[in-house]
Amino acid sequence: MPDKTSTQICPTCGTRISAEATRCLVCGAELSTEKPDKATKGVQGSRIPTITLSLPVVILLLALFLALGAVMVYAAVRTAGAPRELIIPSTDTTTPTLTVTPTTTPTGTPVPPTDTPQPTPTPLSYKVAAGDSCSSIAAYFKVSINSIILLNDLSTQCILSAGDELLIPQPTPTATSLPTATPGPATQTAEACGKVEYEVQPGDTLGAIARNYNISSAAIKKWNGLTGDMVFEGTTLMIPLCELPPTAGPTPTLTPPPPYAAPNLLLPANGAPFSLADESIVLQWASVGALRQNEAYMVTIRDETDGKSLPIVDYVTDTKYILPSTYRPKDTVAHIFSWTVTAMRQTGSDSDGRPIYESAGASSAGRVFSWSGTGGEVTATP
């Protein structure tokens, strides 16, 4: 045990250290090396006793204080209520499950259905004769001009030369149209209204046309979808006769419309040839308008080869005329026929009761076709 006379106490932390030490090894405080003179030592009064603790003791006391506090907190929690269960959330690990889809093993190998190919019509071969045209050939074989152009890889002008070999497609059968739906009340009312077509002539105005038919301009605009009073030459207007105002007297007689335009001939094409295979020939033309009850088309057909026979003159209200097979030439010579169509109006009857007609418009341009009684291929020259 060290001698107390050879040690000293650190005034800062209270640690006993060597008397010759100038610095405390524990707290590092500087120590004074001057010793007080005992002779000059003054009288010291009483002082408060101090407690000096070393650093390890301080650490031990702090640990005890913390442990005591933890015990007191634990006791307080236990006495506050029932013990609580500590729930630790679990982490669910999803294990992938392999799902096996059962497959049905077929007992036999299925045979896929096979499409039965439809027979393709075989094109006909035709040798172009002098004077033939695409329109006349198309009319003769009852096919479109475009189908001949596409099948033979021709230009859009369809230029032919005598001796060329053409492939003629077979006519495509026309599909049966589906039944139409029953029209509504508004459509039925519009269809029940009698109407007359009128082509606007030079100098016509909407008011003049309305006065001519004794119908208001508003009615003509409504039935023709017009937004203004302007009408243009060549335009076809629908004149609704059901819009006529009621009159107490007799029914007014409508003013005859201006002469009809010349009908536009459609089929057969100009110069079309017909042979023994054609039992009859159908002549077709475009309508010039809605004909009245006393109006009809006059069809005039003349045999230009036989200048002695009288022309065929007939009256129809349809836009086609079927030439009977009885007019087929009986000899072996191919005959050239010309035909025209004119709109006519009946003005009365003769003493025998036969109707008397007068012209109601211009006559169409003439067309020709050839008809052979022997079946030979003869092309008519327009």
H/E stretch holding 295? strand 295-303
Provide the pLDDT for residue 340: 93
d(CA 353, CA 374): 40
Complete DSSP assignment for 132-174: --HHHHHHHHT--HHHHHHHHT--TT----TT-EEEEPPPPPP
Count the helix, strand and coil residues of the chain and give each as a percent rounded to the nearest 5: 20, 20, 60
Per DSSP, which regions of 73-150 are E strands? 124-127
Residue from 156, 253, 258, 246 nearest 201 by CA: 258
Phi and psi torsions of 321, nearest 5°: -145, 130
DSSP state of 270: T
Give the pLDDT of residue 175. Answer: 56
Any residues with CB less than 8 A from the CB of 114 and at least 6 apart, and which?
none
Per-residue pLDDT of the chain (382 residues; tens, 9 = 90+): 555 557 888 888 878 877 777 788 778 777 765 554 544 444 455 566 666 767 888 898 899 989 998 988 888 877 765 444 444 455 555 555 555 555 555 555 555 555 555 555 678 888 888 888 888 888 888 888 888 888 888 887 788 888 888 888 876 555 555 555 556 565 665 666 777 888 888 888 888 888 888 888 888 888 888 888 888 888 888 888 787 776 555 555 555 566 888 888 888 888 888 877 777 788 989 888 888 888 899 999 888 887 767 788 889 888 888 887 777 777 777 788 899 999 899 888 888 888 888 888 888 988 998 887 754 444 444 4
Is residue 239 within 8 Å of 213, Cβ to Cβ?
A: yes
Dist CA 206 CA 218 (whole Å): 10
Say what the pLDDT of residue 24 is. Answer: 81
Cβ atoms of 48 and 36 within 8 Å: the answer is: no
- Is the pTM above the cut of 0.85? no
Residues contacting 23, CB < 8 A, separation 6+: 29, 30, 31
DSSP secondary structure of 241-290: GGGPPP-SSSPPPPPPPPPBPPP-EEESPTTEEE-TT-S-EEEEE---S-
Q: Could you give the 3-state DSSP secondary structure of residue 358?
A: strand
